[in-house]
Amino acid sequence: MSDLATAEFLRGLPKIELHCHLEGSVPAATAIDLARRNGIVLPSMDATRLYEFGDLEGFLAVYQAVSRAMVSAADFATVTYESLADGVKSGNLRYREIAFNPTNHPDLTYPEMLAGITDGIEAAERDLGVTSRLIVAVNREQSPAVAADLLRTVLAHPSDYVVGIGLDHNEKDGPPEAFREAYEIAASGGLRRTAHAGERGNVAEIATSIDLLGVTRVDHGYAVLGHADLLQRSIDSGIHFATCWGTALFHCGGDPAASPIGAMIDRGLDVSISSDDPPCFGTDIGNEYMRAGAQLGWSESAAEARVLSSVEATFLDDVDRAALRDRLRVELAAFGSGTAPGEQPR
């Protein structure tokens, strides 16, 4: 296959993604439009400059500002719909687990945001056939008490869409062990658990997230490569790593050959590819697969197998996971690669 045909294949392949932030999915033009309408000033009101930053701290400052520009349920519905539509258009997205940070939006109640996001999810499913679930994400830069309160609020307002808890933002600020209570509350309510850990070299927080918070999935987790015992333990216990090609590159100087993701796959870890904060990092889910596939030399069947193995790491219950698996098998077959879905990923 030519490089062009491979790129087209990887872009059009039906996909799921497990690691995508709602507030990191707002195109610059939409963010500026929301900010103008809601009387909020962003670090730049120029769409070509809003997402200029040099490090994760700079990115998180913009992320917080954009979060403040979302002030009504309708804003949440718009952002959710647009983000899902972009996933469908750019990469034939079929299912996404969307993380959102309720405590970054102090002007709105949790039920108000949930109602808006739900409207966006249902409209996207109706119009585009893409389905979604939600991960309520704790802001680790805020206090453990804020996190525990958030989880009590979440359990007081059950929703079939909310399937998990996550731990986001600057890993230099909030160690996972501080959020044990929030994770215990989440577990008591049947929520599945993931956390950002080991994104920028801190391997201990991967182990703590697994051992103390009970996560079965790690967001990023690149630092696991530096710790042979933890790596083996992660393989043995089936810990899933929801990695992101673009943001991993951001952390390793932009050199695709230096990306940790190929090594994680080669060592036998269970790995999926997601887009994290797509417009903020100039990417989309189609582009993430195209770049990963080109660098890692994926065959068609390897790319398909990566999608199908990601299904097993979703936070869906067994019935819904089986339905998604069946649906994707049909869609992958219809996509017409001529290979049998279900082979083991490389």
**Using CB under 6 A as the criterion, which residues of the chain lie in contact with ligand ADE when the complex forms?**
21, 24, 63, 168-169, 196, 199, 247, 276-277
Q: Is 97 in the site for Zn ion (CB under 5 A)?
A: no
Separation of alpha carbons 286 and 275, rounded Å: 9
Q: Which residue minimizes CB distance to Zn ion?
A: 276
Residues between 268 and 287 with contacts to Zn ion, criterion CB under 5 A? 276
Q: How do beta strands 217-220 and 240-244 pair?
A: parallel
Decide which of Zn ion, ligand ADE, none touches 24; Cβ closer than 5 to 8 Å per partner kind. Answer: ligand ADE
CB of 215 to ligand ADE, least distance (A): 15
Q: Which is nearer to ligand ADE, 98 or 296 (CB)?
A: 98
Decide which of Zn ion, ligand ADE, none touches 95; Cβ closer than 5 to 8 Å per partner kind. Answer: none
The dihedral sign for the CA sequence 310, 313, 315, 318: positive
Q: Does residue 171 contact residue 137 with C-beta atoms inside 8 Å?
A: no
Decide which of Zn ion, ligand ADE, none touches 169; Cβ closer than 5 to 8 Å per partner kind. Answer: ligand ADE
Q: Which is nearer to Zn ion, 251 or 291 (CB)?
A: 251
CB of 101 to ligand ADE, least distance (A): 8
CB of 276 to ligand ADE, least distance (A): 5
Decide which of Zn ion, ligand ADE, none touches 260; Cβ closer than 5 to 8 Å per partner kind. Answer: none
CB of 277 to Zn ion, least distance (A): 7
Q: By C-alpha distance, which of 236, 242, 250 is closest to 221?
A: 242
Decide which of Zn ion, ligand ADE, none touches 11; Cβ closer than 5 to 8 Å per partner kind. Answer: none
CB of 16 to ligand ADE, least distance (A): 19
Total residues interacting with Zn ion, rule: CB under 5 A:
1
CB of 331 to ligand ADE, least distance (A): 28
Site of interaction with Zn ion (CB under 5 A)? 276
